[in-house]
Structure 1
Amino acid sequence: MSRVLFTGGPIITFDGTVATALAVDGDRIVAIGNDALDWTASFDEVVQLSGRPLLPAFRDGHAHPMHAGMNRRALDLTGVDSLAEVLARVREWAAAHPHDAWIVGHCYAPTVLPGGMGLAEWLDTACADRPVVMYPTDYHALWANSAALAVGDLTASTPEPALGTIVRHADGTPTGMLLEHGAMGLVERHLPATDAATYAAGLDEAMRCLSSEGIVWAQDASLSLAELAVYTDGARRGVATCRINGALRADPGHWVQQRPGFNAARNELAGDPATAPWVRADTIKFFADGVIEAGTGYLLEPYEDAAHTCGLPNWSADGLKEAVRAFDADGFQIHIHAIGDAGVRMALDAIEHAAARNGRRDRRPVIAHTQLVHPADHQRFAALGVVANFEPLWACLDDSQVDLTFPRLGPTRSALQYPIGTLARSGARVSFGSDWPVSSHRPLDGLAVAVTRRNALGQPVDGWLPDERLPILQAIHAYTAGTAYQAFDDDADALRVGARADLVVLDRDITSIAGDEVPGASVDETWVNGVRVHHRETAGR
């Protein structure tokens, strides 16, 4: 364990302390300000900040790191902005991988398809000789070519799955779009299994990406037991540079059978000294609903453009209550994906039910995304102790909002989205995340939108729903202390004496620049437990 002095730049605290030095001994902060300079004459290393700021390291409250890392080695369509380019990329990939039995693409923007919906024959023009499946950025749909539909035996006579929608032509034949996991699974169950080497390489890439952006803890928000094992193997291989809490995914039809295995996996990890510092599985993930842009987010009132439906809940209200109660009784933290206002209310009701049945404890339940919240439910977050997890990068007028979400919600409900400022002012705990690979994992990108509510073009100038903006320090707090609270990591909530030395050095002070300049900043160094795990090549020391 070494002694390190950081000196010559602003130390970003949340209590108003003004300081330009911080001392670390081993894995703990031992002094700040003049006390750090006077603390000892013997340092193993002195980091000259040269005006650069030192912040608490970032934590991502909702992401899918391992799969994001794997995507980078696969057909990754992130940033592709037209249908023609998507098809060209599929065509190129198929030509370059003639022996692949399936072509699987990831993270196309839903807005490249009219109304977010594609046709099998469009993919057939790019590759017709084998199955092709494409996932949009939200992963709540699957776009399949004709060969993939045939493998899944999807025809006009295929019945609708319980927890999904097969989009159909007027004659009942599938169009190629499958919405939500009940429908997606009809094709996905035929996909080739992912091999261990692919998982391992994806994890290695994920760790590199997380550390390079100052992230020292992440909630992997949806894992099977087999996927959890990839993280534990990585910890044993010594590649972990970011702590992971795995949220084990509860299946609405099989959660009772899953329960013993989930308990056993959590307990085994907690008792393994080789993995416990890096990987835990203390959380259970529930999908209350889908996503609004696909029409599967669960709404209290019908969709503006589809008056026959309120969306697609993935659980019955009573079923979610009972499953949440059971896992809460087991001592798990609850983490619920909830997008629509009915989905959010159903999640709040389930958490309230669990607390009433199981009694008081420090449970810190999380509702993730929190996109559309009915005003009557705002105060319930603080009252129930629910952490409102937001992906702040989404809180702007991007193409998905303008082209897909607004038409489905209408103006009144559209103005209720992502109530970050409202919930923060209500006293609710707020944490930030990225949902990577759905969107950028860079906290600096999310912070910029949190403080401006502007899109990539800087519009609107005054911000979309400007009352929901946060001041920069409060936004940083949500991405550091807010997520530390979510993680039950109370030893790393701020830069203070006695806190764990999880630190990040930026190349500029983001608290003193315009919000839309924040994405231009870079992470120069990332420290975990007092050990440097990232150093940008061009950064000075």
Structure 2
Amino acid sequence: MRTRYHRLLALIGLLGSGLLQGAEPADLMVVGDIYTVDSARSWARVLAAKNGKIIYVGPENGSEAYRAESTKVITLESGQMVLPGIQDSHVHLLDGGLDELKCDLLNLPTPKRIIEVVKAYSEEHPNDPWILGAGWAPPLYRDGNPNKADLDKILPNRPAWLTSQDGHSGWANSAALDLAGIDKNTPDPPRGRIERDPLTREPTGTLRESAMNLVEDITPKPEDTIWEAVLLQKQREANGLGITSIQEALISPRALKVYHTLATRGELTLKVQCALATDAAKPDSQVDDFIALREQYTVGDRLRASSAKIFEDGGIEGHTAALLEPYVDRPGDSGEVYWDLERLTSIGKRLDQAGFQLHVHVIGDKATRVVLDAIEAIRKDNGFSDTRPQLAHLELVAPSDIARFRKLGTVANFSPMWCYSDAWIVEGTIPALGPERSGRLYQIQSFLNSGAVVSAGSDWPITALNPFEAIQVGITRIPLDNPSAPPWTPEERATLPDLIAMYTINGAYANHHEKTTGSLETGKAADFIIIDRNLFDVPVLEIRKTRVLRTYLDGKEVWPAELQLEVRAGPEDSLVTLTISNSSGEPLDAAAASRMELRAGSSLSSSRADWTVLPVTLEAVGGVLQAVVPAAETIQFIEVLEK
């Protein structure tokens, strides 16, 4: 049997040339199609870096001065391209990773299937004191309210706590409610709601917003070493998607400490801005605690904690978003803001004076209005500082408020993956808002037209971490799995250049480091990615398939995608053993195995679409992946692919 691996880069090696007098030789040089995302949105042919900084970006003519025998030169294959590193300006990387340790309820299609999965998980974990899960979709349930009785049938004695996909609701069984001391006499906490039987007032098992803390606070938490391992895994996955910078959109002191541990050990391969969690129940003096945390945990440009997260409302599907007009299906109910204007302005002034960015969750149009009013008051009293408030989600915004973002120096942060019609919109949003308001969701192009700075965030684990999937949806406004579907509000479709900017230079601006990263320009950090296709040349419906081949942070390769496949005799004559290793020596783990598949064919000239996917399980063994497969006579070539 012969083996074949389609190499991801055509040429990686040391190419020498005479170094021109006075020029500084580069450590690294990339030759190919380079989209710089500078102010002119210009293209270059060569990028050269030394000591983590870009020292040249431009045409090949002139780059010779930076090439020496010691320079590592990467020449791209035809069709590949270079982009600045991706900046995800709203993500929950560590918390989402910790959720993956729980029972996975994401994308389950029916309430029945959810119960089946929870039951199976509980049987597989008989010694766990709690059954914890995450990811159930509220649109699967009437009014988004699952009932404790369904959990009680399978878990009558062990407490169960399952959080929703959007993070705004939790589902408890009776055992969990009892441990939390929640009964019909328990009052709703501020900014929260205990869903109840309308006749008996007994809790039904669904808790909204701050009421979730009544149970969440008593659930067992993993040890710090587990948190560190999870963060290492998730940042590896982020690097593999081309992500070099993030804003952790809600972080606790404990989570910040975990990031700090990795940063001080030199293991943090992301540039991280953290949004510290505010608490409306605490006085404005909590800002003093934020200042202390910022001073204690800042590590150069790798880790900063100079943003403060505020939740101004909840979500439309649970009727906890704050609206200017009442819900269609709940006359007289407009939701409520969690911070009134006076309170928000008060703490906002303190945060602004201390140099913190406001990072505010806003879903409803009233929530956005109140936050903008507060920012206007803060600007009036404090003067116009460069703290760059960032409002995230912006599901429904009054048209008259859009222009205020630019005027007030406020960043609009969207999650492009939300911008298509799905069950959340059809079964949750439209019945709650009606067709007119539902037709004004996620007005990305309107914000771009206004001149506001628009950034992008995945909001993972709410939606996919993959930025290329989000870019495709932002352009098309149609679901990834149904390309023939009509676009949702097509007038709000954004262009490819604008979406790339949202994920690069605009994200850098939102995180206060656009002078050092976010575009490929001389003097900036060599934070860039190499991808397998030129996004400007491929059909828009192919963008989602983009694969990141290399990710560089400060000139250091943090994501190698080139693999080596070795085939040798197996334990029996009819079997062969396959070993996949990383050419850079980086270990491969179970997460890497889940992204790979092996395909086999009898001829290189045959269409790879006709090649057979080998039904094998890759196992991580000592930093490599291994599998045993039948040595079929018809198999002549094997290829490794990432899904």
Q: Residue 312 of structure 1: CA displacement?
A: 3.2
Q: Residue 257 of structure 1: CA displacement?
A: 4.0
Tell me, which stretches of 5 or more residues in structure 1 are unaligned?
none
Q: Distance in 2 between matches of 1:257 and 1:351?
A: 19
Contact 1:389 1:433 (C-alpha < 8 Å) held by counterparts: yes
Aligned residue type for 2:466: R
Contact 2:26 2:48 (C-alpha < 8 Å) held by counterparts: no
Which residue does the alignment assign to 2:504? 480
Which residue does the alignment assign to 1:33? 59
Q: Residue 189 of structure 1: CA displacement?
A: 2.3
Q: Are residues 1:67 and 2:92 paired?
A: no
RMSD: 1.8
Contact 2:479 2:485 (C-alpha < 8 Å) held by counterparts: no
Paired positions, count: 536
Contact 1:325 1:358 (C-alpha < 8 Å) held by counterparts: yes
Q: Residue 307 of structure 1: CA displacement?
A: 1.0
Q: Distance in 2 between matches of 1:305 and 1:97?
A: 41
Which residue does the alignment assign to 2:389? 365
Aligned residue type for 1:41: R
Q: Which has the higher strand share?
A: 2
Which residue does the alignment assign to 2:159? 131
Q: Which has the higher helix share?
A: 1
Contact 2:252 2:277 (C-alpha < 8 Å) held by counterparts: yes
Which residue does the alignment assign to 2:562? 537
Which residue does the alignment assign to 2:75? 48
Aligned residue type for 1:506: I
Contact 2:85 2:551 (C-alpha < 8 Å) held by counterparts: yes
Which residue does the alignment assign to 2:208? 179
Q: Distance in 2 between matches of 1:206 and 1:285?
A: 22
SS in structure 2 opposite 1:256? Answer: coil
Per-residue Cα deviation, 1:262-313 (whole angstroms, up to 9, x for no partner): 111112234xxxx333211000110000011111011011111111311132
Equivalent positions of 1:101-500 (< 5 A) are 101-170=129-198, 171-181=200-210, 183-270=211-298, 275-458=299-482, 461=485, 463-489=487-513, 490-500=515-525
Query: Which range is displaced more, 285-294 or 122-131?
Result: 122-131
Q: Are residues 1:523 and 2:552 paired?
A: no
Q: Residue 184 of structure 1: CA displacement?
A: 1.1
Q: Distance in 2 between matches of 1:95 and 1:311?
A: 40
Q: Residue 220 of structure 1: CA displacement?
A: 0.5
Contact 2:104 2:134 (C-alpha < 8 Å) held by counterparts: yes
Q: Residue 35 of structure 1: CA displacement?
A: 4.6
Sequence identity, in percent?
Answer: 33
Per-residue Cα deviation, 1:324-348 (whole angstroms, up to 9, x for no partner): 1111111111111111000111111
SS in structure 2 opposite 1:226? Answer: helix
Per-residue Cα deviation, 1:456-511 (whole angstroms, up to 9, x for no partner): 34466552111211110111001001100001112213122222110011111112
SS in structure 1 opposite 2:120? Answer: helix
SS in structure 2 opposite 1:475? Answer: helix
* Change in CA separation of 1:267 and 1:139 when aligned onto 2, cut-off 3 Å: same
Contact 1:21 1:36 (C-alpha < 8 Å) held by counterparts: no
Aligned residue type for 1:289: D
Which residue does the alignment assign to 1:511? 536
SS in structure 1 opposite 2:220? Answer: coil
Per-residue Cα deviation, 1:245-265 (whole angstroms, up to 9, x for no partner): 111111001142422211111
Q: Distance in 2 between matches of 1:139 and 1:260?
A: 28
Q: Distance in 1 between matches of 2:402 and 2:225?
A: 45
Q: Distance in 1 between matches of 2:206 and 2:445?
A: 36
Q: Distance in 2 between matches of 1:297 and 1:457?
A: 28
SS in structure 2 opposite 1:297? Answer: coil
TM-score with structure 1 setting the length: 0.95
Contact 2:32 2:46 (C-alpha < 8 Å) held by counterparts: yes
Q: Residue 194 of structure 1: CA displacement?
A: 3.3
Q: Distance in 2 between matches of 1:447 and 1:255?
A: 40
Per-residue Cα deviation, 1:121-175 (whole angstroms, up to 9, x for no partner): 1112332221101111111111111111111222222222222111111210111
Per-residue Cα deviation, 1:209-247 (whole angstroms, up to 9, x for no partner): 111111111110111222211110121233211111111
Q: Distance in 1 between matches of 2:61 and 2:386?
A: 35
Q: Distance in 2 between matches of 1:50 and 1:21?
A: 14
SS in structure 2 opposite 1:134? Answer: strand
Contact 1:11 1:22 (C-alpha < 8 Å) held by counterparts: no
Which residue does the alignment assign to 2:592? none
Q: Residue 432 of structure 1: CA displacement?
A: 0.3
* Change in CA separation of 1:476 and 1:227 when aligned onto 2, cut-off 3 Å: same
Per-residue Cα deviation, 1:364-405 (whole angstroms, up to 9, x for no partner): 110011111001101101100100000110011021111111
Per-residue Cα deviation, 1:81-123 (whole angstroms, up to 9, x for no partner): 2222211221121111111111110122222323321000111
Tell me, which stretches of 5 or more residues in structure 2 are unaligned?
1-24, 565-582, 585-643
TM-score with structure 2 setting the length: 0.81
SS in structure 1 opposite 2:163? Answer: strand
Aligned residue type for 1:349: D
Q: Distance in 2 between matches of 1:243 and 1:16?
A: 23
Aligned residue type for 1:219: Q
Contact 2:284 2:346 (C-alpha < 8 Å) held by counterparts: no
